[in-house]
Every structure is written in structure tokens, then in C-alpha cells.
């Protein structure tokens, strides 16, 4: 079992099983992010042997939530409700006039 480094808190500790060792790989965070945002196809293998390809694309105006945020907002309605309550807190911009002397 891996030992936790002294400078990491318990919440930062990796929960990856020891048999999944990725130390020799040089992964790049977000490598496929832009391609995913452009869209991707999924092959669906049906029981009758046929294959259906379904294409998914992030719609215009859609927002991708990070997993830690997603657990608090399970659906669009909850996200919109929270954002509307924040919008109500934003002060309206006042127009200032410059006094000339």
C-alpha cells in the first residue's frame, strides 16, 4: 500500500488502487478537452448485431460542470435557481457624472 506524503491532506490523498500504477506514463491534463467540446461519436452495439453511431455535441450556451460542483446541482433547474439568486445580489451599475469646475 502507498504511503501518504506528509504534505498532502487526507482529502488530497489519491484513492487509486495500488494495482493501477500510472507513474511511468506522461499524461497530459485536458488532452482531449477541446475535442470533447467539439463533439464525439459513440458506437452502440445492439443485441441483434447492428451498430448504431450516436453523435454528441455540447450545445451552444451549454456549460460543463466540474464533478465537485455537479454533486450540488444535479439538474438544470437547480443550477438556474442558484444563478438567479446570485444575479439578484449583483448591484446594478450606476451611471456617474463627472463634475467640471
pLDDT digit string, tens, across residues 42-74: 899 999 999 999 888 777 777 878 888 888 988
The x, y and z cell numbers of residue 92, run together, are 446594478
78 DSSP 8-state letter: H
User: In sequence order, which ranges of the chain are alpha helices (DSSP H)?
Assistant: 33-38, 67-70, 76-89
pLDDT at 34 over 70: yes
**Hey, which residues does 92 pair with through a beta bridge?**
none
Instruction: Quote the pLDDT of residue 52.
Output: 93
Amino acid at each position: 500500500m502507498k504511503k501518504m506524503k506528509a504534505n498532502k491532506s487526507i482529502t488530497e490523498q489519491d484513492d487509486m488502487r495500488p494495482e493501477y500504477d500510472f507513474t511511468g506514463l506522461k499524461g497530459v491534463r485536458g488532452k482531449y478537452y477541446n475535442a470533447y467540446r467539439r463533439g464525439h461519436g459513440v458506437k452502440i452495439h445492439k443485441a441483434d448485431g447492428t451498430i448504431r453511431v450516436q453523435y454528441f455535441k455540447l450545445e451552444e450556451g451549454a456549460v460543463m460542470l466540474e464533478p465537485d460542483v455537479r454533486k450540488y446541482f444535479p439538474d438544470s433547474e437547480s443550477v438556474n435557481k442558484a444563478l438567479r439568486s446570485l444575479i439578484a445580489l449583483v448591484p446594478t451599475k450606476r451611471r456617474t457624472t463627472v463634475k467640471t469646475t
